[in-house]
Amino acid sequence: MKKSTKPNRSYQIADQIQRDLTELIARELKDPRVGMVTISAVEVTPDYAHAKVFFSILVGDAQETEDALNQAAGFLRNHLFKRLHIHTVPTLHFHFDRTTERAADMNALIAKAVSSRSKDD
């Protein structure tokens, strides 16, 4: 007999990890290289062994922040153990999310195209 599993369980876990990490980074992480970080998405592997954590920052160096978060991954994972009620808490892998950066670049290109079109008219 097949064990029934909820198909959206991994989404629920990812969502909970995202909320908990946001709070943990803000309150518990004391690394000066980590400033105002926004966790934009979390992707959990089907076996819950690994989680890709995508983040963005308002100010600061993205690579430096990514390095600091990855160095603190074990510390953050230990705190997640205390909060999450699951058998396996995934290993965290932080990645800088360039979505907002790309959106700003696209907006600038669109604005430039619109302004050059209006000059031609």
pTM: 0.80
Number of neighbouring beta carbons within 10 Å of residue 111: 10
Q: Name the maximum alpha-carbon separation found in the chain.
A: 71
Q: Is residue 1 assigned to a domain?
A: no
Per-residue pLDDT of the chain (121 residues; tens, 9 = 90+): 444 455 688 899 999 999 999 999 999 999 999 999 999 999 999 999 999 999 999 888 999 999 999 999 999 999 999 898 888 899 999 999 988 778 888 888 999 889 888 776 6
Q: How many domains does the chain have?
A: 1
For residue 70, give the CATH number of its domain: 3.30.300.20
What was the pLDDT predicted at 18?
Answer: 97
Measured in Å, how far apart are the chain's first and last C-alpha atoms?
71
Domain extent, residue 14, equals: 9-120
